[in-house]
Amino acid sequence: ELKVEQNPLFLSMQEGKNYTIYCNYSTTSDRLYWYRQDPGKSLESLFVLLSNGAVKQEGRLMASLDTKARLSTLHITAAVHDLSATYFCAVDIPSGTYKYIFGTGTRLKVLA
Amino acid sequence: SAVISQKPSRDICQRGTSLTIQCQVDSQVTMMFWYRQQPGQSLTLIATANQGSEATYESGFVIDKFPISRPNLTFSTLTVSNMSPEDSSIYLCSVGLAGPTDTQYFGPGTRLTVL
């Protein structure tokens, strides 16, 4: 069974702190996507990782992909309240088909 | 990127009825998809909407329950048929864009409540 698992599922952190969200997937894929969803809103594309070793950074967020370990990380640096949202990773299986399997999601709350 | 609109944005329906959700994109796209997001859950792919041919459904989803139309490259509809409270979810359409961005863009979603 194809699985995309994230941990933690819930994360409450103080402003200014660093933390990492992990995304593990159970089958081969060399593409991984990160999205953000605010409450009551749709999904916003954050990062597109298209090869092993890919690293992308935008502001306080940095995403990386290790296809051999079937692992992606989303690192948060010096969190701010505006980062509070649910973060999803997704893989397309088979790779390149755009048929996404989404992770379980990580609900992040940054406390002032 | 792509600008995607959906109608209706939300609806409350009675058990046993059907609702058709529309998805409009501001440019021609080859790949269009429908997802379901149950309350507090992740997204699950329902089907790929194929222009000019029958949709391709994922495991657990059938055409009789979720008929899909794709008359052209900018528009698709998803019908939720013979609804039950278990169908209460957010339904999202998305488009896949190849090229430099190479990702899917999502519509705003349709929040459906079935009583």
Q: Give the pLDDT means over successive 10-residue stretches in chain B (115 positions).
A: 93 97 94 93 93 90 96 96 97 84 88 97
Q: And the tokens for A95?
A: 């790779």
What's the pLDDT score for residue A102? Answer: 95
Supply the pLDDT for residue A51: 85
The one-letter amino acid at B12: I
**A35-39, A47-51, A59-63, B83-87: which range is least confident on average?**
A47-51
Mutation target for A interface from B46, B94, B104, B105: give the one with most A CBs within 10 A: B104
Dist. CA A22–CA A8, nearest whole Å: 7
Facing residue for A99 by CB, picked from B42, B48, B105: B48
Confidence of residue A9 (pLDDT cuts 50, 70, 90): very high
Query: What pLDDT digit, counting tens, does each position of A58-88 carry?
Result: 999 999 999 999 999 999 999 999 999 999 9
Please determine, for residue A110, whether its predicted confidence score (pLDDT) is greater than 80.
Answer: yes
Beta carbons of A18 and A10 less than 8 angstroms apart = no
Percent helix / strand / coil, chain B, rounded to 5: 5, 50, 45
Cα–Cα distance measured from residue A67 to residue A72, given in angstroms and rounded to the nearest whole number: 8
- The predicted pLDDT at position B16 comes to 97
Asked whether the beta carbons of A43 and B42 are under 8 A apart, the reply is no
Burial B32-54 (b: 16+ CB within 10 A, else e): bbbbbbeeeebbbbbbbbebeee
Q: Which amino acid is at A23?
A: C
Rounded to 10 degrees, the C-alpha dihedral B40/B31/A54/A13 comes to -20
Q: Is B104 on the interface with A (CB under 8 A)?
A: yes
B50 touches A at CB < 8 Å: no
What pLDDT is attached to residue B101?
A: 63
Closest CA to B6 of B33, B28, B30: B33
Q: Can you give the pLDDT at residue A111?
A: 94
What's residue B99's pLDDT? 65
Pick the closest to residue B25 from B38, B34, B13 (CA basis): B34
Whether omega for the bond prior to residue A94 falls within 30 degrees of 0, making it cis, is yes
The pLDDT assigned to B100 comes to: 58
Instruction: Note the pLDDT of residue A80.
Output: 96
Q: What pLDDT is recorded for position A97?
A: 74
Q: Is B85 helix (H, G, I), strand (E, B) or coil?
A: helix
Going by pLDDT thresholds of 50, 70 and 90, the confidence category of residue A12 is very high
Strand B10-13 relative to strand A43-49, pairing: unpaired
Q: Are B24 and B32 in contact (CB under 8 A)?
A: no
Whether residues A48 and B101 touch (CB distance < 8 A) is answered with yes
**What are the tokens at A94?**
């088979």
- The lowest-confidence range among A10-14, A93-97, B47-51, B105-109 is A93-97
**Which residue among B33, B42, B108 places its CB closest to the CB of A42?**
B108
